[in-house]
Amino acid sequence: MGIPGIANKHHYQFFTLPNGVRVVHRPIRTNVAHVGVFINAGTRDELEHENGLSHFIEHTLFKGTKKRRAYHILSRLEDVGGEINAYTSKEETCLYTTILYEHYERAIELMADITFNSTFPEKEIEKEKAVIMDEINSYNDSPAEKIYEDFESMVFGSHPLGQSILGTPEHLKTFNARHIKKFINRNYLPSEIVISSVGKMDARVLHELVEKNFSTIKAKAEKIERKKFKSYKPTERTEHKQTHQSHCMIGGIAYHASHKHKTALILLNNILGGPCMNSRLNMTVREKHGLAYNIESSYASYSDTGIASIYLGTEKNSFEKTLSLVMLELKKLRSTLLGTAQLKKAKQQLIGQISIAAESNHNLMQTMGKSMLLFDRIDSLEKVYKEIEKVSAKELMEVSRDIYDERKLSVLTYESK
């Protein structure tokens, strides 16, 4: 028999509070549990003068609530061997915990407290500004990381997706508790919150815990619709940097999270420059020619658009040759169908990677939360595998011609002085 108010599907359990907070739970037998609160608010939801505010809020949520000081927040789970952390992306903010399952109540109560009862003391805000300023400076000192952010800024331009997640020192200096509370009131709506749980917990007990701690938040009007990105224009830019290597990003606009060719692009990206050492770019540029220690491709999908890119770092005198090899690999993908054996191997590799990642319960909790936030559903692994198996060599070529058309590519280069 089912549990009233709790739906069961593909080993997952779902329920929604009257105020709109959604919960997804995956029961497991291990003693370690993972719980996350996912909020559909990130950098793209900031107004122009708020750049960096969603990330700043992620930091300051831990600095005190109506009943706890910063020390007590950090100690609440760490005193029992647990962990609490957070991250901000372009479209979401997430607070997540890892605990022994008997401390579920601690974790859920604490996350509700810091999400909705934080007081943002002015003294703590000023201290955290210095911490984030140091984070920005650290990021600026790493060209291999900063070029990703600068490339997105170049591709998306003045659109909110082009804004830095960390923000700028100029904006950071202006933030105060009033700015924070206005952003939270506008974006931290119960209907835009998902709680994701993986652990040895009965769904009825979990329902009671979540209801006790999250149902007191009143439902609010729907969130303001996000500004869609429509105006991509391929751009080439070179910046001269005091670096040992030259760094380069090549890419452009890609498919949104619900696009019919999204799975094909994920597979194509894995073939081109995914995490495995036998990717085409790694085999050609690093293994065959020894020109780059780090070369990789990536694909990030958002709710209404996406970005596909290739990163490489190499010696200045090897840069042109490395770039020509990359362009040659893209041309091969656009002009030559994968053979039956190649395609089968590529699919097996991606399915294997997904299966291994799913063995991590922390990764599973993250995937569940993001999926519910974006699609309001969880696809079974079997369905994911079937989608991969449906991809044909012809579709991969069509996607290559669309995404990696040279006329559509932007190029950002950090040229070493």
**CA 293 to each of CA 248, 270, 277, 281, 296: distance values in angstroms, whole numbers, following the listed order:** 13, 18, 11, 11, 10
Structure tokens at 61: 């949520």
Contact of 205 with 213, CB cutoff 8 Å? no
Indicate the residue type of 285. V
**CA 35 to each of CA 85, 301, 315, 379: distance values in angstroms, whole numbers, following the listed order:** 11, 24, 44, 19
Residue by residue, DSSP assigns 30-91 as SSEEEEEEEES--GGGS-GGGTTHHHHHHHHGGGBBSS-BHHHHHHHHHTTT-EEEEEE-SS
145 tagged catalytic: no
Contact of 53 with 132, CB cutoff 8 Å? no
CA distance 228 to 155: 14
- For residue 371, the tally of other CB atoms under 10 A from its CB is 18
Structure tokens at 249: 């990003």
CA distance 352 to 38: 27
CA distance 159 to 229: 7
Contact of 22 with 194, CB cutoff 8 Å? yes
CB-based burial of residue 353 (10 Å sphere; 0-12 exposed, 13-18 middle, 19+ buried)? middle
CB-based burial of residue 417 (10 Å sphere; 0-12 exposed, 13-18 middle, 19+ buried)? exposed
Single out the catalytic residue among 46, 50, 58, 152: 58
CA distance 70 to 83: 15
Catalytic residue IDs: 58
